[in-house]
Every structure is written in structure tokens, then in C-alpha cells.
Amino acid sequence: MFTVTNLIGIAAGGFVILAFYARDERVLRQYAITSNVLFMIYALLVWLWPIFLLHAILLPLNLIRLAQIDPRGALGRDAARTP
């Protein structure tokens, strides 16, 4: 039987899989952040403190890395090198 809690856990795992399939770093980080938030909610609902702490640590790291991505992307970097 699927409960809301189980569905949140399944969705969190699904976003981990999507992050591994992402080719664009921005998309990868967005999926990872979504996964972190969903896993934190799931962990609080079922009292899994190690899982909560893991994702509480990973969330700011993913947010920082997302903020560090050049908004111009690969084309912008190539264009910057072109004389």
C-alpha cells in the first residue's frame, strides 16, 4: 500500500536517478536539490535521522554549486575564448 510518506520516499529516489541521468550540470543540481528536500521530509516523517543529516549536509553544497554555475553555459565559455 502506498502512503503519502512512501510516495515522498519514492519521489526522492526518483530524483536521485534523474540526477544521474542529467547531462547538464544545472539540471543535475536542480534534481539533486529536489531530492535532498524530499529525502529530508521523508526522513522526518519516518524518524530516520542519519538520512536527514546526510541530506541536510548535501543541500547547502548543492545550492552553492548551483549558484557557482556560469549562467552563460558552455556556449558562453566558448564565445568568451573566441577572438
Report d(CA 46, CA 70) in Å as an integer. 38
Q: What is the pLDDT of residue 9?
A: 96
Q: Which three cell numbers stand for residue 15?
A: 530524483
Q: What is the pLDDT of residue 2?
A: 87
Q: Return the DSSP state at 47.
A: T
Distance of CA 31 to the CA centre of its chain: 4
11-20 pLDDT per residue, tens: 999 999 999 9
Report d(CA 11, CA 39) in Å as an integer. 9
